């Protein structure tokens, strides 16, 4: 899949799921399906954190021949982000906007950079 198709798919997934997520009520968004599991608010908050990290990662792909990225403490970031306290619709909009911006960035990566094989990476550890 080239970068144009990847960006298009991300955009379609965001737009389709934004509609579905917005249909969820505020009270439904705070409930976990299982104990010790994230609520929908926390899951979307995690995806916000992920979009922020991925934006930084993808923006730097033209600057290096390696794809070595730092991970982050997902559980801690979700707590620090206080996503449980955010209004559900605001959180969904934030998630959608960040990922649509990410799709624009991906679309603009030159194909030779996007498709370049890199021997040195740590994708098996952070993905």
* Mean pLDDT in residue range 42-65: 88
- What pLDDT is stored for residue 96 in this prediction? 98
At the second CATH level, the architecture of 3-126 is: Up-down Bundle (1.20)
Full-model pTM: 0.86
Alpha-carbon distance of 101 to 109, in angstroms, equals: 13
Res. 23 pLDDT band, cuts 50 70 90: very high
Q: Is the pLDDT of residue 119 over 90?
A: no
* Confidence grade of residue 122 (pLDDT, cut at 50, 70, 90): low
| Residues ≥6 apart with Cβ < 8 Å to 67 | 61, 118, 120, 121, 122, 123
């Amino acid at each position: 899949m080239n970068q144009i198709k990847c960006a298009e798919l991300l955009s379609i997934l965001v737009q389709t799921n934004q509609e579905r997520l917005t249909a969820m009520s505020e009270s439904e968004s705070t409930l976990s399906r299982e104990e010790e599991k994230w609520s929908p608010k926390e899951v979307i908050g995690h995806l916000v954190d992920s979009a922020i990290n991925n934006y930084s990662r993808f923006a730097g792909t033209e600057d290096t021949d390696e794809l070595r990225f730092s991970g982050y403490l997902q559980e801690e970031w979700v707590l620090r982000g206080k996503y449980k306290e955010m209004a559900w619709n605001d959180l969904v909009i934030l998630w959608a906007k960040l990922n649509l911006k990410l799709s624009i960035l991906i679309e603009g990566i030159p194909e030779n950079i996007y498709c370049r094989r890199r021997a040195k990476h740590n994708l098996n550890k952070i993905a």
